Every structure is written in C-alpha cells, then in structure tokens.
Amino acid sequence: MFKKGLIIALFSVIMTMGMGTTVLAEINVPPVEYDTSKEMTAEIAAIIESIEKANVKIYTEIDKVQVKTNEMYKNYLEELKATQGEAQKVALWEKYDSKITEEIKNLDMKTQSITKKEVEKARIAGVTVEVVWITVKFADREAKIDPMVGVGW
C-alpha cells in the first residue's frame, strides 16, 4: 500500500514538473521597451555631476575620519600598554570609545546632511537617486555610511 502511494506521489510530481516547464518556456515574449525619448538634458547632467561631487566630498570626509580614528586607536593601544591597573584600563577604554563613537557620529550626520541636500536637488530635477549604505572600517569598528547613486531620470 505504501509503495503504491509513493509511486503515485512521485509520478504526480514528475507530471507537474513536466507540464509546468512548458508553460514557462513561452517563445513569443515581446522585448522590453525603454523610453528613449527622454534624453539627458543639461539640467540632469548638472545634477548627476553634483551627485558625483557630493560623493567625492563624502569619501573625502570618510578618509579624514579613518585617518583620525586609526591614529586615536594607535594612541589608545600605546597608552593601554603603559597602564597597569584594571580600573585605569577601563577608564582609558571608555574615553577612547566615546571619542571614536563621537567622530563616527559626526561623520554620519555630515554625510547624511550632504546626501539629503543632493537627493532633494535631484528629486526637483526629476532624477531618481538611490542612497546606498556602505560599510566603512574605522580603526577597531565598522559603520554604515551613505553615498548616493543616480539610477534614472
């Protein structure tokens, strides 16, 4: 009894797969049509250039903060080697951690401000912009920062 049920179930699955694939393999599929009537105007080109400049500014800010946090981390490790007491090590960590966190927070606020301004300018001009969060390494931690990509107009 069990064998017959298994054979029937297996046969049903094979029949379903066989019929399903022929339905999905339609031959007369029309090609995707794109609206090429909208060419890039000078205004759109200027907005895209502005987005690229904003991204350069964002990456420059990221580089500055990376250099600064790496230096802070190096100094923290040197001070940690010279520190003997556990309470002093904890206090040193808390000081370092708050400074690094503040630097990353300030960077995040600055980049979000730049992004928000550029997205609004692009929206007014009719350019679609996507904010892409990237992971950036800062000394001993990572954070998400938001450059932009123009995806259409």
Which token pair is 130?
């996507």
Predicted pLDDT of residue 34: 46
Separation CA 78–CA 96 (nearest Å): 12
* pLDDT > 80? residue 78: yes
pLDDT computed for residue 94 by the predictor: 96
* pLDDT per residue as tens digits for the range 95-142: 999 999 999 999 999 999 999 999 899 888 888 888 888 899 999 999
Q: Scan for tokens 């600055």, then name that residue.
A: 110
DSSP secondary structure of 94-117: HHHHHHHHHHHHHHHHHHHHHHHH
**Domain segments of the chain as ranges:** 42-152
The pTM (predicted TM-score) of the whole model is: 0.69
**Can you tell me the distance from the alpha carbon of 55 to that of 149, in angstroms, rounded to the nearest whole number?**
9
Predicted pLDDT of residue 46: 87
| pLDDT tens-digit series, residues 33-75 | 545 455 667 888 888 888 889 989 999 999 999 999 999 999 9
